[in-house]
Each structure stands twice: as C-alpha cells, then as structure tokens.
Amino acid sequence: MLILIPLIGAIITLFMGGSKQKYAKYVAAVFTLITLVLTLFMMVNYFEDYSVLGENYAWIQTSLIQISFALEVDGLSILMVFLTALLSLLVVIFSVHDADEDRPNYFHALVLAMEVGLMGVYLAADYFLFYVMWEVTLIPMYFMISWYGGPRRHYAAIKFFIYTHVASLVMLIGIFAMGFQAGTMNGGVVDFSFATINSLMPMTSEAFQALVFALLFFGFAVKMPAVPFHTWLPDAHTEAPTGGSVLLAGVMLKMGSYGIIRVCLEALPLGAEYWQWVIIGIAILSMIYGAYGCIAQTDLKKMVAFSSISHMGMVMLGIGCLTEAGIMFAIFQMFAHGLITGILFMVCGMTGHKVGTREIPLLGGLAGKMPMYALFMMIGFMASLGLPGLVGFWGEFPLIFAFYEFLVEQDLLWMILFCLLSLMLTAGYYLWAMQRTLFGPETTKIDLTHAHDVSKCEGIALAVLVALVAVFGVWPDAALQFIEPYTEWIIGVI
Amino acid sequence: MDMTTIFGDYTAFAPMLILMVSALLLPGVQMLTKRRTVTWAFAFVMTIVAMAVNIIMLTGDFTGSSLGLVEYDGFTGLMNALFLAVLFLAVLVSNASVETTRLHVGAYYALMIGATVGMMFVASSSDLLTIFVGVELTSISSYALVALKRNDARSAEAAVKYVIIGGMSTALTLYGISMLYGLTGTTVIADIANNLTEMNWMVAIAFISMIAGYGFKIAAGPFHMWAPDVYEGAATPVSMFLATGSKKMGLAVFIQIFMVLFAAGTTCADIIGEEVQYLFAIIAAITMTVGNIVAIAQNNIKRMLAYSSIAQAGYILIILAVMNEYALTAGLFHMITHVFMKGGAFLIVGALICVGLGEKISDYKGLAKRAPFLAFAMMLFLFSLAGIPPLAGFTSKFFLFSSAIGGVDGVTSQWVWLAFVAILNSAISLYYYARVVKAMYIEKGTTTEKVKIPAAFMVAIVICVLAVIVLGIFPDAVFELCEGAAAVVMG
Amino acid sequence: MFVEYTWLVPLMPMICFLLIGFIGKKTPEKGGYIAIAGALISFILAVLISYEYITGDAYPDPVTKSIEWFVIPGSTDFVLNLGYYVDGLTCMMMLFSSFISTLIFIYSIGYMHDQGERKNRYYAEVSLFLTGMLGLIVSSNFLEMFIFWEVMGLCSYLLIGFWSWRHPDGDAASANAASAAKKAFLVTRMGDVCLMAGLFILLGEFHSLDYTTLFDPATIALADPEMITLAMFLVFGGVIGKSAQFPLHDWLPDAMAGPTTVSSLIHAATMVKAGVYLVARGYPLFVQNPEVMLFVGIIGGVTAIFAASMALNNMNIKKVLAYSTVSQLGYMILALGAGGYLIALGMDMGGAEGATLITAGTAGMVAGCFHMMNHAFFKALLFMGSGSVIHAVGTEDMRQMGGLRKHMKITSMTMLVGCLSIAGFPMFSGFWSKDLVLEIAMEAGHDGSIWFTVMWVLAVITAFMTAFYMFRMWFMTFMGEEGEATKHCHGESPKTMTMPLVILSVFAFGSGFLILFGLDSLVSFTVTDTAFIVGGAGAHGAMYYFEHLFTNVYTYLTIVLALVGIAIAYLMYAKKSINPGKFNRNGTSMLYNALTKRWWFPDLYNQISWKLGAGVAKIVNFVDRQVVDGSVNGLSGAVVGGGDVLSKAQTGHVQDYSSIVLLGVAVLSTLFVVIAMIMGGM
Amino acid sequence: MIPIEYFLVLGAILFAIGAYGALTKSNAIIVLMCIELMLNAANINFVAFGAFNADVMGQAFVVMSISVAAAEVAVGIAILLNAYKLRKTTELDDKQLRSMRW
C-alpha cells in the first residue's frame, strides 16, 4: 500500500504536462501526505504490540525459484519508512517554488518514484524485491541530477549511476550465492525470501559467510558510502538539486547501512565476525577522512556531503561493534542523520538558490541579511555536530559509548581517540564554515541585493524537521522504543 | 484443436509447412497483384497463421516427428514461437518502413519467411545434416535480405562482407562436421555423444571449427566482426531480424549440439566435458567484454546496438559454460526477453529513420520533447538491456547470472568469476545505454518539432514495451515454458 | 513541597527562551521583562527550595529524584535517568547564579537599550544560557549535566558572537567576534570531548551516571580504581576547557568580543563556574586518587599566576577583567585540588591521622566554593561597572579613559568596592576566601606534597599581582587626567544599570561574612555526607577558619603584599610619579612582548590548528581527488579508451575479419588442447 | 586400398589453400572461389570418411553441401554484381568496400 500510493501519484504527475503542470505539486503533496499518514498509522499499529507487520503475495513461482512479493515492517525499517515518507513530503513542500521553473510535473514524478523505490527497499522482505527496489531508486535520482542539477551534472549523474550500479551488481552476486546455498539446504527450492535465507544462512560455514559477506558489504559500503568507495557522493551532491540531495542523503544513504544490518548481520553473523575489524577500520577511516574532507571543501554543499560520509562512518562503527547497543544506536543515528541532513541540504540548497553561489570564500555575513536562514543553518550544524538536546547527540554519545564498551572488552582503549578526534574535527569544520558564511563582515564579492530570506514553504519544511530534531533530541526514547525489540532480536542471531 | 487431424504425419512440420508454402507463393502474389500492401497482408496473415498453429501445438504439449527428419517438442515449440515472434515484428513494420517498401517486396517477404523456416528447421533437428541445411537456408536468405536494398551502396557493402564471412564460416562448419563424422561415423548428435571416445587434435579442430562456424551466426567473439557492419548496412527491420532471430538460431544450434553432446553421462562429456565448458566460458567472457567495450566508442546507434547484441550473446553463452538445466532455462528466457528489448530498440531506430531522423546518437538529442512516448520506450528497452529492474532484461539477467553462481545443487564456485565478468560488463553497458538516454532526455535538440511515426511501428513498439514490462514483472508463465523446453533438451 | 519542584528552576528560563523566541519578534521591548521575570521566578524558587531543604529533615543528605530516560542495552543495562539532585552545593550555586543573572538582566535593559531588533535575540539567548547553568546545577546525573554543559557552550558561542555580523563598530569587529565565538566553542569543545570520554569510562564502570550511584562508596569500591583515575583526569579535561584553565585558557580573553553583560554572565554567574562546580560536584570521585588532585592543584596554581601576568600590561579594560577571572578560577581550582589531595591522602592513610587530614582537606572544598561565590559577586560587579564605563565612553581602551570619577560617581565607587574585594583588602569578601585558599594550599604543602608549597608561593605572588593590576585598571580609568574618550562621556548610566551595581557592591563587600553564618557547613556537607570519610572525620566549624585566619602570620603577609600592589599602582597610574616605561623599556622588553602576545599561546594554537586541521585536510583532499577519485575516473577512462582502441580493430576490411576468424580458430584450438592437457582429458 | 590419411591430408591442403586465398586475394570473385575450395575440402573428407565407414551418410552430406554451396555462390555472385554496380569495384581492400568500420 505504501508503495502503491506514490506509484499512482508518480504516474499521475508524470502526465500532468503542459498547462496542468502547475498543479503537479499539489498532487504530489497530496500523495506524499497520504503516504505519511498511512505510515504514521502503521507506526501506531506497530507500537501497540511490537509485532512484525507484513504482507506476502506469491510472485514468481517456478520449480526451482520461489520469489514472493513480500513486505514487512519491523523495528529496523519502521523508522526508515517514516523518514522516507516524511522527507518526501517535505521535499515536495520545500520545492514548491524551485520546481516551478522547469517541468515541475517531472520533478514531482521523480520524487514520488524515488519514494516508491525507497519504500520498497525498506519494506521488502524478499531479496529479489529488495534488489529490484534498490535499483529502482537509481533511475529517478539519475534523472533528478541530470535534469535539475548544476553545471557538471552529466558527469556527476553518470558517475553516481554507474558507480552505485556496479556496487549493487556485486551485491547481487552475494544474493545469488545466499539464495542457492539456502536452496540446497532447503531441499532444492531456491526461496529468496528474507525469512528463509536469513534463517538458513547463519548455519553455513564461516568461509562461505565471509566470502558472501564481502560481496554484499561492498555493495552496501558504496551506497553508504564508506571511504574509499565514496567518491561518487560529493559529486552527486554538489550537482543534485536540493530536493534530490535531501532524499539522497536523508534516505538513500541509509539503504547501505540498512542493508548491512538487514542482510549482512541477520544472515551472515559469522561473516560479520570475520570482517569485524575491517568494518571498524573502514568506519573509523570514514569518520576521520570525511571530517578532514569537510575542512578542505570550499563548496558548502560538498562540505555537507563529506560530513555525511563522516556520520555514516559512525553508523558503521556502531554496526561494527556487533553489540546490542552498537546496533541500536547505529539505527538511531541513521534516523537522526536523516533528519539532520534534511535540514542541512535544504539550507545549502537555499544558499545556492538565493545567494547565487555556495562557495564559502565568497560568502560572509549572511546572518544579517537572512536571519531565519542563519538560524536554520545554525540549528542544522549544531545538531549535526552532536549538540546535546538535539537528536544528533543521541546518535553520537551512546554510539561511541557502545564502541567504548566494545574496546574495553578488546582491551584496545586507545582506539577511542579516533572517535574523539572525529568529534573535534566535526565541531571544527562546522564552526569554521559558519564563521565564514554567516558571520563576519557582509560579503562584497557577490551581489546580495536579491538574496531573500527563507520563504514560507521552505520555512514550513525546515521547521518540521527542526521540531523533530528537537523532540527526538529531548526524548530519544520515542524512537528507541521502535528499535529496541528489533535489536534485542538481532543480538540473539549474532 | 488437434493439429494432427489437419496435418497428419506432417504435424511436426506444420508451422514450417505453412511458411514454406507462403514463401513460395509470395513472389507470385506480388507479380499478380502488383500491390505491395496485398503482398504484405498475405505474408502477415500467413505469419499469424503459422504462429497460431505453433501456439496451439505448444500449449497442447504436442510431441512428434515427421519423416524422421524433424521433431517437434517443447524446445522446438518455444524456439519456433520465438522465431515467429521475430518474424511477426519484422513483417509488421516492413510495409511501413521507407527502407523496405521500395524493395522487391515479394522477394523480400519470401526471403524473410524462408530464413525463418530455416531457423525453425534448425530448432526441430537432431542431426548435424539437417542443422547444417537449416542454417544455410537462413544464411543464404539473409545474405540476400541484406543485399536487397539494391540502390544503397552501404547495403551492398554489408552484403559482400556478410557473404564472404558467411561462406568462410560455412566452410569451417562443414570441415568440422566432416571431422566429427569421420571420428564417430554418424551425424546424429545423440550418437556422436557416445561414439566419441578419446580426445585428440582432430577432435579439437572439429569442435572449434564448428564453434567458429556457428559462432559466426551468433556473433560470438572473435567471430563477431561482421555484425556491426552488416547491421549498419542492412535495412533496419532486417537488422532487427538478424540481431534477434538469426542470432537466436545460432544459439539454438549450440544448444542442440553441445547441450546434447555434453549432457551428463555421455562419453563425450566424460572425456572433454569440462574442457568444453571452460572453452565456452572463455568465449563468453571475450564476447561480452569486447561487445560492451567497443560499444562505448560507437556513435552510430545501429552499430551500438549491434555491439550490444554481441554482448548479449556473450551473456547467453554463459549457459554453455554452466551447462545445467537451470542455466538453459535462464538462457532461453533471456533469449526471449532479448527479442523484445533489442527488437524494440531496433524498431524505434527504424521508425525514426522513416521520419528522417539520422542514425547518429547525436541525432537523438531532445527526442524526449519531440516524441515522448518513443523516447520513453527507447529508455525502457535500453535500461532493460542494461538490466535495470523491474524490466524484463533484469529478470532474465537475474536468472542467467544466478545460474553461473549456483543451481539446484547449491553454490558452484567454478563459474563465479564468469558471473563477475558478466556483472562488470553489465555495469559497463550502462554507460553507453545511458549516453543514448542522456541524449534523448537531457540534452537539448536543435528542434522541438513533434515526430509522428507510422502506425505499424507504433503497434510493434507497444507490443515490445508491454512484453518488456510484463516479462519483467510477471515472468512466471514464460519461464515455465522455458523450463519445459530445457527439460526436453537436457533429457 | 518546593523541593519536588526543583526541575522548575531551569525550566523557567527555558520557557522564557521559547516565549521570547516564538512570540517576542514583534515586541522586542518585552523580551527583557520576560527574561527578568523568568530569572526572578527561578531565584525565588531557589530561595524557597534552599530554605526548605536546609530546614528540612533530609538535610544534610541530598534530596534527589529521577525518572528513567532511556537505556543503553548491554550485558547489564546502562540506565540513564533524568532528575534533580539537591544538596548544599546545589543550593548555593542555584542561589547566586539566579540572583546575579536577575541583576544582569535588569542591567541589560539599560545596557542593551539601543540594540533594536537584536534585543529579542539577546534575551532569548541569555535565558537559554541561564537554563543551561541552572540545569547543570540541579542535574541528578553526569549525562544530564553534560547536556546542560553543552547547551551553555552553545549559548556562549551565540552570545560571544552576538555582534559577529553587522557589528556597530564595523566589519573588523564582526570578524573578530565571529572568530572569538568559534574559538570559545572549539576550545571548550576540546575539553568537552575529554569530559565525554571520562563519562564513557564512568558509565562503563558504574552502568549508571547517577550521582547517588557514583558517589556511593560501596559502588566505588567495586570499580576499577585505575579506570576511575583515568576518568577523572578526562573529566578534569572538561573543566580545563570550560573554566579556562591553563593550557586551554586562551578563549576567555577573546570572548570579550561579546556584549559586556554577556561577559559578566559568563564570568560571574554561569559558564566558567560550571567547571569549578563540576570538580566540587565530582569530589567524591576526584579524591579517589591523590595524583589527580595534585594535577588539579598544579593546573590551578599555574593558571592563577599565568593569567595574572598577562593582565599586568593589558590596555583593554575588559581583557584585564577577563585575565583576572582566569586567575581567580585558578585559585578555586587550586583550593579544590589542595583540599582533595589531603582528603585523598587521608583516605589512603586511614585511622586517626587520616581523619585529621580529611578534616583539613574539607577546608579546600569550602575554600573553593566560597571563593567561587565571592568571585561571582565581585566579578559581576566589576564587569557591569566596566560595562557602564564602556557604555558611557564608547571604548574599551583604558588609555583613552581617565578621570572618569567625576563623571560617573556611582560606577566608580561600586567598582572600587569590587577592586578592593578582588585585591583581598581585609574585611572585603575576596579577602576571606582568598586567604582561605592560600591557607589550604599551604597546609597541603605542609602535610602533603612539596608541589603545593610551590603553588602557595605562586598564589601569593598572584595575590600581589592581582592587587596591582586591578588598581592599575581602576586608577587608569577613574583617576588621572581626562583621556580622549572621557571628553565626550555621556555621564552616569541609567538607573537600571546603576541599581544592580549598588546591590552587587553590597554583596561584594559582605558576602565574605556568609562564612560566619554556616556557608562552610553547607558546602562541606557535600563531602562529609557521602560517608566515605573514615574515622569520624568531619568539617571544621566556621570559627575554626576564622581563628586560623587571623593567627596565621602569612595572612598578614598577603595583606601587606596587596597593599603594596595597590600603592605601586597608585604611584604609577594616579600620581604618575613612577614611569611604568622604566620597567619594560617602553614596551620593548622581552617580557612585555611576551605578555602582549599572551605568551604566544594564540599563535601556537593557530599553528597547531592550521597544521592539524587545514593542513591535513589539504592532504586528504588531494588524496581524495587524485588517488581515490582519480582511480575511479582512471578506471572508467581506461574502459572508454579501451573501447576506442578496440574499435580500431574493426577496420572495415572483410579479409581482416576473416583473418581474425581463422586466427581465433587456431588460438582456440590450441587453448582447447592445452586445457584438455591440463585437465587430463588428453 | 589408399589409406584414409591421404584423403585427409588432401582435404587439409585444399582447405589451407582455400583459406590462404580467401585471406589474401583482393578480388571478391576469387575469394568466393577460394571459399568454394574450402567447402570442397570438407566434401572430400566426407566422401572419404563415408567410404571408409561404409556409411551412406557421407555421400548424402556431400550432395547437400554441394547444392548449398551452389546456392551460396549464386547469391554471392549476385551480391557482388550489385556491389560492383554501386561501388564500381570488386576489390575487397578498396576504400569503397571498407566504408563501414570502427
């Protein structure tokens, strides 16, 4: 149902060309809103008894291969589903003015198509469907970048498209391997459903799991993206339109970490143990490398893109601990980062849109001219650097604590220094960027006469996110309660 | 309806018979009526009749043989259906395409139908002799088809190349068959399989010659060099016919010969089964890699599609490396989806040639504005070829590549590298497909004038679009047919 | 009945913050009144709570209540709570913070009246600041405290950078403010990260961060002492950052870029006091290891003299005050360190002897907290006084002032009280607490480590320096010839500004006497009630300190030194009979230079941060673009280029094609045979 | 009786000559003829094997292949004629017949 609604919406808006294209945004808004309402309804339902909700239809049934159209929501996916529905709606609201310029019906159709794919990824309970949806997200994003993107959009779009496609194909090999292995164990019928594979895979040998884990992990790590597989991200973000960036960073990157938990951990616990130190190494590398990358950037949006790398590294760190707390707060950090990057990319998009450039050296003193803009930017940056009281802190503090606990067991306490360094750097680059863009003397290098403050629709979209950032910042348990049953279960698997 | 009541002992022949008769009649029809539309209508109707007969036989699970020459079973039926579908698409648009309407239409349809008969003949054979004759029938007809654009120099050049390479391949094939015959004393494939007892140089030359000869038909590397030139030179419906039909015939030959020769338990399989598998794996890897990499460098869309078919043939060759029932099923399924996606792409190119658009990729700039549906359909076909879900190309590749990883007996690590090669290739292919999509959707064209294409093309393209989507999302029914066919071949 | 509502204390300013933030936009004038109301209500609540607590049954045990907030799962769950914790220390902090804040807010009405639209933002931010401080004080666990701790960091960032755009004094000033704000946040953040690491260790050891759990000797005994030591070192790292201790002191002078009211808020009522509070609050854990306390003490002592030295020649009225704050904070930390050292030794020793040491040690706690409170009063007074001056003359440079006494009587007199107090003039509040600090440092040196004797010497020198530079400031500003800026002085500040000055001057003079009324027991119970004191040790009574103070010969030494300092300042800057230029070769001596350059600390930090930050970042970026991205692009380039090369094989010559076919046959046949040979088929 | 090897060697030599000619001769007609030679080399093999195995299949195959070859040459010559008409050449290495490449 959650997939169907945006799909219908996408098709309708797609055909709203010509004179009707003005209304495309309302249609898109209505459909995303319906989806969000349904999601909330589902969350309430879930909240009542924490049971896994799902539906299952037979799809491709051959003598050898069984593929079903199975959807499922549990503690891992429910927040992601919520995030998808929310950000899609907000992107539509936020882009009301931006998208009016060039074929708004296509833009909104793409947003809705993205929503279809993303929902599909998070809801799928069958590897075939999962992979299908995984790839479905690529195409709208490709178009979004190359239609509505910046000057180097062609390069960025094709790089994004092919790089992530290669990764997903490698992942596909892993999926095949799991499917057939499960098939043999299951009496010759290759059933691609999560239930079958995830229950059979943990019984396989460590060598097999390690191999398959490597394949799958590569696919997910590119998506996350983890250093050194990240280079598509800064380019894609720099060129993507605001709405695209929000969805890309807010929800799409989470597909990677979601996959790691859902597939790699659930199905291949021995593989995870085998590669644990590699995961942690990559995670730490991402965190620090991403943070340093941020310092070096002059493009505001590119900086935020690198910060995503850094923060997703933190998610991976949580996963790498393979402890209940680690995974729990990795999921929470995914959620938190989704909300925060929403704000960040909207703000960065506004910078380019309203001021005309995102080059930090050209900016300065914008706070005087655009106070609301400055306020949102500051909240976003503060949340992202882990200021307590905002949601980012709960993705950071307990997560690093989980890592600390892990290190205590391993007797490798000094490694916590990496995390601390990354925290320090994070604060550094955000503050430095703020100093140079918002504060100081008003820039004379560019013409600011046409720079307007946040418009009403943009304000609404941002305010919703800010409110959520604050609410979950004060009351993290609201989100944790959804996650908890899941982590309790998965730790049993591991 | 029981076909045996109508065709009697010739039932296994039935679809071929209908087409053969109509092929013989067609030049006469043209001469008598002098109206190309009537000729077309006759060819079209006969195609549909043959198709209907075949479908009835196929769905009725008919099996049988006629004259000890042809056999009809699930596999034959499926391949026949495939060839007839190709013929159907080609004939459907031929009356609308400027490239084909000015030809001698009687001969044109007769040749096309003749070529199809050859293909079907191959699919029903179990003897090297009949296979040889069938392949030659198709080959010679298609030489003529390519050359039929009599006033087009490029067509003539293509035909010269085609006939020379084709002749050489025939010679190689024949030489290989003669060796095999000498070694085993028979041309019946199933007998060869058990008469071959040792491996030596002669066996090697025999097999390689045959692989080369028929590899020519499917344009497997390194025997693929003719394909881009010929596809570029021929009329687009003919290119489409060759790329989808003739190529599948080559694959059918490979399946008929090698899958039987190396079926489990034959002495042939015992002595060189694995070696041949490796050989095919290498050929498959070369084919797909060359096809994809060179396709990147192309600016002519027909050449690009030609290289992409080379690559697709490479993917399908995976089945001969893996050589199990599941792989064969997947391969057959991919052959079917390939007909629609590659056929559809060629059809769009042909349709656009009709309205005066060039063959260069740069001519497609801004097509999305000029012909939204065509551009969308083209995008679907190309993405399907690239294997993007949820289109048919993805589903079939999903099965095909998965067969390299494992099968009923679980994971076989032997061919994982091949799957890797295939998958990397698949990613490379996305690059050049995306170039076309980019030209259509993202770059601005010089004009925004709307494009209107002939209705017949539209119908054909819609059929392909539907097939690409439906086969992608609901592959069950067709996949089952493939399973049945594969089961027949593998015994 | 009031104690249950302790959570309201930080909530009031929070509500004000939200009120001003959301609805205050249209009426920026009202913001100030809302903020004052909030702070006042908090103060009244604090008074009621303190009264009830002190007179209540629970006293001196802490009253605490928590609700479960969330849980970090683990083999044993890590439970994190949300709640309040009231004891003597809480009461004291709560009272003076909210009281001084209220006065500062009132003062702001006058001081900020010309800021127009910005006032709104100002009041919202100071309210949030107060929330941070009060929240920190009443928190029932370290995590909650840490949150408010960081909220305060944010507010200091916002307020120091209050004029970071469209500064009334022009662009250079805005840039300066922006940079100062960043520096403040980053440097304190460095401490915060250490603190966070410390909290990790505590949480890991105790599975909770509640004070009640952490301060329980039974649970402490179960924990790994080495880990606690490490944790406390790290926690103290946070204190170094927040309370601007050496070597992270450098942000505080820069923080003068904000409005003067903000400086007084940061220096007197909130921010920097949080660090000292944290040491006092964590005393039960800090005293587990004497090494930690020795470290704390040394840092305090060094900071005291180090900061004082930089105040000696500074020409900026606010910066002098800023250095004096750092220096005074050093005193507090020294006192806590010295006292804690004795307690720690006493605990190691045990028995009656140990008990004596502990009893002596509790005085350190008392001295630190006592000085913190006194300092809050006189520093608030001094800052607001300087604000009043700046408001009137429009500059911060003391060379342009002078002779202001005639124009601003109230300001000059109240500031004199403040100066006397900080200089340790007998009977003024600073005298009591400072001499108590010196006393305990000496005792620690005597009974414990020789290091504390060294620190005592440093502290005594600092006392002399303090007297000198404070009066240098006062004389330069209010006495002597009229300077440039004095000539166009507006005259005395409005009542909203002078009234708080007068009130504060009363406290600045008199708060020292509070020790006679039980303040010592109020705070020292924090130590004693945690029940880890061995052998019946307890705090000394107030009279003990009183007696000790006047019987100690060294007390008179410091008094003399302070007087000498004042006298020198008088001669140099009021009477001008001694030319200060003589001592510093007119500003060219090495020492003078070192002081103006702040001992090169800012340069050092710049170098380090550029090398470690931007420098490494450049390398990373280079690697990223050239190596990581380069390999991706290179790979795709190779594939595309490979396509071009391979397509050249397609010569269009049909016989080349046939050659390749035959060649293919030959090669494949050979390959076939080779494969067959390898696999044993032939 | 003549040993079968002799026939096979003859066939191989013929095949090689044909292949050599097909690759090197520039005139398309000659190339076609060389291809005929290659086909006939295979035919010799067939006949020889058929005779030695006392199997009729060899001869049958040869009959088939001769007719196929005839058809092929017929079509081939027709195509060459057409090409000559349009390109004015039958030289395979002529630029005119190498227009489609890369």
Angle at alpha carbon of residue B270, lines to B269 and B273, rounded to 5°: 40
Contact A183, A271 (CB under 8 A): no
pLDDT class for B335, splitting at 50, 70, 90?
very high
Neighbours of C208 (CB within 10 A): 22
Among candidate residues C417, C513, C428, C514, the one with its CA nearest the CA of residue C95:
C514
pLDDT tens digits, one per residue of C232-268 = 888 888 888 888 888 888 888 888 877 888 888 888 7
The set of chains that have 3 or more CB pairs under 8 A with A is: B, C
Query: What average pLDDT does range C388-416 have in this prediction?
Result: 79
Percent of chain C with pLDDT over 90: 0
pLDDT over 90 (residue B344)? yes
| Average pLDDT of the residues of chain A | 82
The set of chains that have 3 or more CB pairs under 8 A with D is: B, C
CB contact under 8 A, C182 and A488: no
Give the model's pLDDT for residue A70.
Answer: 81
pLDDT over 80 (residue C481)? no
How far apart are the C-alpha atoms of C453 and A20, rounded to whole Å? 85
| Residue A295 touches partner C, C-beta closer than 8 Å | yes
The set of chains that have 3 or more CB pairs under 8 A with C is: A, B, D
| Average pLDDT of the residues of chain C | 80
**H or E, element range at A490:** helix A477-493
Within 8 A of A382 by CB-CB distance, chain C residues are: 154
Query: What average pLDDT does range A342-357 have in this prediction?
Result: 84
pLDDT class for A51, splitting at 50, 70, 90?
low
How far apart are the C-alpha atoms of A489 and A199, rounded to whole Å? 13
**DSSP 8-state assignment for residue B72:** E
Among candidate residues C60, C65, C69, the one with its CA nearest the CA of residue C85:
C65
The counts of H helices and E strands in chain D are 3, 0
Query: What average pLDDT does range A433-452 have in this prediction?
Result: 76
pLDDT over 50 (residue C531)? no
Percent of chain B with pLDDT over 90: 32
Whether A and D touch (3+ CB pairs < 8 Å), yes or no: no
How far apart are the C-alpha atoms of B248 and B234, rounded to whole Å? 18
CB contact under 8 A, B410 and A180: yes
- Domains, in order of start, for chain D: 4-89 (1.10.287.3510)
Query: What average pLDDT does range A392-400 have in this prediction?
Result: 86
pLDDT over 70 (residue A94)? yes
CB contact under 8 A, B423 and A170: yes
Contact B27, B107 (CB under 8 A): yes
pLDDT over 80 (residue A333)? yes
Q: What is the dihedral of CA A143, A146, A149, A154, to 10 degrees?
A: 150
**H or E, element range at B71:** strand B70-72
ipTM, 2 decimals? 0.85
In chain C the first and final C-alpha atoms are separated, in Å, by: 99
Give the model's pLDDT for residue A17.
Answer: 47
Give the model's pLDDT for residue B240.
Answer: 92
CB contact under 8 A, D31 and C659: no
pLDDT class for C542, splitting at 50, 70, 90?
low
pLDDT tens digits, one per residue of A206-217 = 888 888 889 899
Give the model's pLDDT for residue C392.
Answer: 79
| Average pLDDT of the residues of chain B | 87
Contact C444, C363 (CB under 8 A): no
CB contact under 8 A, A181 and B410: yes
Partners of residue A67 on adjacent β-strands: A60
Name the residue type at position D35. Answer: I
**Gap from B164 CA to chain D (nearest CA, Å):** 7
Query: What average pLDDT does range A369-378 have in this prediction?
Result: 83
Placement of tokens 């995390």 in the chain:
A419
The set of chains that have 3 or more CB pairs under 8 A with B is: A, C, D
pLDDT over 70 (residue A153)? yes
Within 8 A of A388 by CB-CB distance, chain C residues are: 146-151
**Range among A19-33, A315-329, C348-362 rated most confident:** A315-329
Give the model's pLDDT for residue C192.
Answer: 87
Among candidate residues C4, C163, C176, the one with its CA nearest the CA of residue C84:
C4
Name the residue type at position A221. Answer: A
**DSSP 8-state assignment for residue A438:** T
CB contact under 8 A, C653 and D99: no
- pTM score of the predicted model: 0.88
> What range defines the domain where residue A408 resides?
4-493
Within 8 A of B200 by CB-CB distance, chain C residues are: 682
Within 8 A of A143 by CB-CB distance, chain B residues are: 441
Give the model's pLDDT for residue C536.
Answer: 43
The larger pLDDT score, comparing residue C22 to residue A210, is at A210
How far apart are the C-alpha atoms of C84 and B83, rounded to whole Å? 82
Within 8 A of B480 by CB-CB distance, chain A residues are: 62
**Range among A438-452, C447-461, D10-24 rated most confident:** D10-24
Domain count, chain A: 1
CB contact under 8 A, A387 and C609: no
User: HEC states along D9-48?
Assistant: HHHHHHHHHHHHHHHHCCEHHHHHHHHHHHHHHHHHHHHH
How far apart are the C-alpha atoms of A6 and A84, rounded to whole Å? 11
Contact C433, C374 (CB under 8 A): yes
Query: What average pLDDT does range A313-339 have in this prediction?
Result: 89
**Gap from C653 CA to chain B (nearest CA, Å):** 8
Among candidate residues B319, B323, B201, B415, the one with its CA nearest the CA of residue C674:
B201
Cα A432 to chain center, whole Å?
A: 25
pLDDT class for C581, splitting at 50, 70, 90?
low
B392 to A4, B91, C103, C272, C579: CA distances (angstroms) = 20, 23, 76, 67, 94
Most C CBs within 10 A among D79, D99, D101, hence the mutation to make, goes to D101
pLDDT tens digits, one per residue of C326-340 = 888 888 888 888 888
| Residue A262 touches partner C, C-beta closer than 8 Å | no
Query: What average pLDDT does range B435-446 have in this prediction?
Result: 85
Please report the beta strands in B376-473, taking only residues with DSSP state E, as ranges in sequence order: 406-407, 410-411
Among candidate residues B281, B294, B297, B316, the one with its CA nearest the CA of residue B227:
B294
pLDDT over 60 (residue A18)? no
D32 to A9, A259, C293: CA distances (angstroms) = 62, 60, 102
The larger pLDDT score, comparing residue C407 to residue D5, is at D5
**Gap from B359 CA to chain A (nearest CA, Å):** 23
The larger pLDDT score, comparing residue C216 to residue A406, is at A406
Query: What average pLDDT does range B333-353 have in this prediction?
Result: 92
CB contact under 8 A, C196 and A420: yes
Helix runs in A224-268, H state only: 232-239, 242-247, 253-259, 266-267
Q: What is the dihedral of CA B473, B477, B478, B481, to 10 degrees?
A: 160
How far apart are the C-alpha atoms of C577 and C343, rounded to whole Å? 49
Give the model's pLDDT for residue C534.
Answer: 41
pLDDT over 50 (residue A288)? yes
How far apart are the C-alpha atoms of B316 and B291, rounded to whole Å? 13
Give the model's pLDDT for residue D98.
Answer: 77
| Residue C655 touches partner D, C-beta closer than 8 Å | yes
pLDDT class for B454, splitting at 50, 70, 90?
confident
Within 8 A of A176 by CB-CB distance, chain B residues are: 401-402, 405-406, 419
pLDDT class for B336, splitting at 50, 70, 90?
very high
pLDDT class for C212, splitting at 50, 70, 90?
confident
Give the model's pLDDT for residue C224.
Answer: 83
Cis peptide leading into C247, omega within 30 of 0?
yes
B37 to B44, B98, C89: CA distances (angstroms) = 10, 13, 103
Q: Which two tokens stand for residue B444?
A: 């601005």
| Residue B413 touches partner C, C-beta closer than 8 Å | no
pLDDT tens digits, one per residue of B303-319 = 999 999 999 999 999 99
Give the model's pLDDT for residue C585.
Answer: 61
Within 8 A of A228 by CB-CB distance, chain C residues are: 628
Placement of tokens 């920026």 in the chain:
C28
Cis peptide leading into C60, omega within 30 of 0?
yes
Within 8 A of D92 by CB-CB distance, chain C residues are: 653-655
How far apart are the C-alpha atoms of C51 and B311, rounded to whole Å? 87
pLDDT over 70 (residue C586)? no
Q: What is the dihedral of CA A365, A369, A372, A374, to 10 degrees?
A: -10
Within 8 A of D22 by CB-CB distance, chain C residues are: 655, 658
Within 8 A of D45 by CB-CB distance, chain B residues are: 175, 178-179, 181-182
Report the residue of chain A nearest B327, measured CA to CA: A64
CB contact under 8 A, C664 and B222: yes
Query: What average pLDDT does range B82-111 have in this prediction?
Result: 87
